[in-house]
A = this chain, B = another copy of it.
């Protein structure tokens, strides 16, 4: 693991069909290897092999192992913000509970996002060049959430603090549920988590 700092941003914007496919293949393989081996034990050669390509090709698209992590995280982050934004934007006072429940259900089913991957990577990337870029992520999520709650006429004494809390609460539970404990059935867990959220935001 060389010491010298290297680029952690993608080497080039893939624009051709083939490139897109290559990047996708590599990211999928990297996801598998990162989740299976952990970041430290995942080697570029292993990732390339898992993707069925040569290391050289990997380096054609990513300048370093960290760059792969950064890209993966970027996609995760964007997917999550988009999903949460889309669902909450439809919330009204009347539908808030059901919207939250559906959103949580979707998150637990890991549709479009991969909490396991996220958990492996976040610590690495947080110490990386891409730190700053990533930093805005939770804020964006909180903003999206605060918007949704406002639209649903949820009244809170400190909406920002509550958004901060809720983002963590939901993500961590989703993460734990998906990664560590497949023992809890999704619907029950979604119900219970929804209950927790609703109890918090709707004073008795």
Distance in angstroms between the alpha carbons of A93 and B161 in the assembled complex: 28
CB under 8 Å from chain B, chain A span 113-145: 119-120, 123-124, 126-128, 138
Q: Is the interface of A mostly helix, strand, loop or mixed?
A: helix
Task: Give the residue name and chain of the B residue nearest to A157 (CB).
Answer: B192
Determine whether the beta carbon of B192 is less than 8 Å from that of A162.
yes
Given contacts A172-B171, A188-B158, contact A164 B138 (CB under 8 A): no
A153 at the interface (CB under 8 A from B): no
Number of copies: 4
A94 at the interface (CB under 8 A from B): no
Determine whether the beta carbon of A123 is less than 8 Å from that of B119.
yes
Q: Which of B6, B123, B189 contacts A39 (CB 8 A)?
A: B123
Determine whether the beta carbon of B124 is less than 8 Å from that of A40.
yes
Q: Which of B119, B127, B175 contacts A37 (CB 8 A)?
A: B127
Q: Inside 8 A of A2's CB, which chain B residues have their CB?
A: 2
Distance in angstroms between the alpha carbons of A39 and B120 in the assembled complex: 10
26 A-B contacts, Cβ less than 8 Å apart? Answer: A1-B40, A1-B41, A2-B2, A4-B6, A36-B127, A38-B123, A39-B40, A39-B123, A119-B119, A120-B123, A123-B123, A138-B176, A158-B192, A161-B188, A164-B176, A164-B181, A164-B184, A165-B192, A165-B196, A168-B172, A168-B176, A169-B169, A169-B172, A169-B196, A171-B172, A172-B173
Enumerate chain A interface residues (CB-CB to B < 8 A): 1-2, 4, 6, 36-41, 43, 119-120, 123-124, 126-128, 138, 158, 161-162, 164-165, 168-169, 171-173, 175-176, 180-181, 184, 188-189, 192-193, 195-196, 199-200, 203-204
